Copies of this chain bind each other. A is one copy, B any other.
Amino acid sequence: MRTAIVLFDRFTALDAVGPYETMSRIPGAETVFVAERTGPVRNDTGSLALTADRTLADVPDPDVVVVPGGPGQDAQMGNETLLDWLRAADAASTWTTSLCSGSLLLAAAGLLSGRRATSHWLALDLLKGYGAEPTGERVVTDGKYVTAAGVSSGIDMGLTLVGRIAGDEHAQAVQLLTEYDPQPPYDAGSPDKAPAYLVEEFRTRNRFILN
């Protein structure tokens, strides 16, 4: 089983690494980071680079496609090389998945039309423009399409997929190994829970960078 995680300039690191850390521990899984060109790909703040070991063209038919999001997603919405790859990869995949605003790339490739899907809470409404039906759930499964909410939700999505692919017992082992027993020091992780003025402040900005 081959999993391809797509990288592009100004992706969000945890979007990619959350699912990586869980899904790369599926028995027999080969996980590969892919991008238009091989080599280091910089994240949204520029201070982190993950290596793309293969080009998109090198990995035309992964079993699992994982598309992270991040501020750089916007610049990819008209990138036909990437969108064509997504369409072709999806035609052969067992699972096509995204994190955060990565679902907008799946949507732009025409893959979420008529499907329930999610995204970063700030990007959720944009899914409608592509014929998808946005839902507020953290991990949304519609057939073979699995989309997750913002950034950290990739760990929940990853464990969900480990369970579907390798069984509940293996998923629990991965959860135990990664000691995923979250204890957030605050309770502000969704627009329903965070102070309203913070939600409002983010909504009135153009992009979701905070630095």
Q: Give Cα A29–Cα B47 distance, bound, in whole angstroms.
A: 11
A110 located at the interface, meaning its Cβ lies under 8 Å from any Cβ of chain B in the complex:
no
Complex contacts, A169 vs chain B, CB 8 Å: 195, 198
Quick one: closest B residue to A201, CB to CB?
B173
Contact A159-B186, Cβ < 8 Å, known A120-B179, A152-B178: yes
Q: Give Cα A32–Cα B40 distance, bound, in whole angstroms.
A: 15
Choose the segment among A11-19, A83-91, A125-133 that binds chain B (4+ C-beta atoms closer than 8 Å). A11-19
Contact A195-B182, Cβ < 8 Å, known A18-B14, A151-B21: no
Q: Contact between A48 and B27 (Cβ–Cβ < 8 Å)? A: no
Q: Give Cα A45–Cα B21 distance, bound, in whole angstroms.
A: 10
Q: Give Cα A100–Cα B33 distance, bound, in whole angstroms.
A: 24
Contact of A186 among B17, B163, B201 (CB under 8 A): B163
Q: Contact between B138 and A151 (Cβ–Cβ < 8 Å)? A: no
From residue 14 to 72 of chain A, which have CB atoms closer than 8 A to chain B? 14, 17-18, 20-21, 24-25, 27, 29-33, 40, 45, 47-51, 53
Contact A21-B14, Cβ < 8 Å, known A149-B179, A151-B179: yes
Using C-beta atoms within 8 Å of the partner chain, give the interface range for chain A.
35 or more
Quick one: closest B residue to A211, CB to CB?
B25
Contact with B along A174-211 (1 / 0, CB 8 A): 11111111111110111101110011011000001011
Complex contacts, A201 vs chain B, CB 8 Å: 173
Q: List 19 A-B contacts (CB under 8 A).
A: A12-B21, A13-B17, A14-B17, A14-B21, A33-B47, A48-B50, A150-B177, A150-B178, A152-B155, A155-B182, A156-B183, A159-B184, A159-B185, A175-B194, A176-B191, A180-B182, A181-B184, A181-B189, A182-B182
Contacts A156-B182, A177-B208 supplied; 13 other A-B pairs, CB < 8 Å:
A14-B18, A24-B45, A30-B47, A50-B50, A120-B179, A150-B177, A151-B178, A152-B179, A172-B188, A173-B194, A175-B184, A176-B194, A180-B184
